[in-house]
Structure 1
Amino acid sequence: MEKVSMLSSSEVQTVIESYPAAFRERILILRKLIIETANVTEHVTVLVETLKWGEPSYVTKKGSTLRIGWNPKTPDYYGMYFHCASRLVPTFKRVYSDTFSFEGNRAIIFNLYDPIPEEELKACIRAALIYHMAKHLPTLGI
């Protein structure tokens, strides 16, 4: 049973459908993980799915925006992007340095052919969804 109200834009689906099939499949997995995590995260009641910078983005009242996307400039990779001025990615690097690949302080990057470490990624997603409640914690509640 879903407890989160999801507000979605049809433009998001159009962008996802524009990705090559293999990447579309992976982006939809990331989207599913975001929605699943929102549904079991305390204090998240509304999840807004919209476009920011032309990419599917997810916003909550007490969280930091997270985006997912693929770019033809890096054709073998796709990513989950976070606000670069937040403590999110630096914290993920400390906690999950052996699990994920990162792009600066803004993204977790995935190779098309690598498995997605779902439980660890859900912990990162949760931290983003409630960032403004957890940013004072040493590892953001992870």
Structure 2
Amino acid sequence: MKDNPDVLALLDGYPEDLRIVLLKIRSLILEIASENDAVGTLQETLKWGQPSYLTVKPKTGTTIRIDRDTSATGDVALYVNCQSSLVSDWRGMFPDITFGGDRSVHFRLDKPLPEPELRQMITMALTYHSRKRSSVRS
């Protein structure tokens, strides 16, 4: 994946504490995509003004967006398509994490990122379509 200069410029404009956490999540997304053969080619772009990561060849996953959290539930959020079952699945798997509706997971800057759980969520998002296709064939 090529770094998108617009995404990097947006992230550079955030306060340091937000930027550090968002860059950590970005790094996890890139690392997981590069280490997992089930993930298609990843593209970094801006969608709705937010850093976004989508699989393009093949379309194995759903788009992941990350940004500052403008709600009262956290400081940083990871968003997925609300039409997916991902947040519902995660809610059952990780009951101690804060979720927003059917599209987001929220993190506070004053607490460490739950990295093992976040890794699993990112992997599930990046392979969402391929896993759905596999379960239909089974």
Q: Sort the TM-score into its range (normalised by shorter chain).
A: 0.7 to 0.9
Write the distance in 2 (CA, Å) between the matches of 1:22 and 1:44.
30
Go from structure 1 to structure 2 and tell me whether the alpha carbon gap of 1:94 and 1:7 turns closer, same or farther (over 3 Å shift).
same
User: Shift of residue 62 of structure 1?
Assistant: 1.1
More helix by share: 2
Aligned length: 132
Which ranges of 4 or more aligned residues in structure 1 deviate by more than 4 Å?
71-76
CA offsets 1:83-111 (integer angstroms, 9 cap, x no match): 1110111000011112x111111111001
Change (3 A) 1:9 1:125: same
Equivalent of residue 98 in structure 2, options 89, 97, 101: 101
- How far the C-alpha of 1:123 sits from its partner, in A, is 0.8
Correspondent of 1:38 among 13, 18, 33: 33
The reply on whether 1:125 has 2:122 as its aligned counterpart is yes
SS of the counterpart of 1:14? helix
Aligned residue number for residue 3 of structure 1? none
> Within 2, Cα distance between the matches of 1:136 and 1:75?
33
Aligned to 1:26, the other structure's residue is in SS state: helix
For the 8 Å contact 1:87–1:135, the answer to whether it is kept is no
1-side partners of 2:69 and 2:14: how far apart?
A: 9
Change (3 A) 1:111 1:39: same
Are 1:11 and 1:51, in contact at CA under 8 Å, matched by a contact in 2? yes
Deviation at 1:20, TM superposition (A): 1.0
The one-letter amino acid of 2:98's match is S
SS at match of 1:108: strand
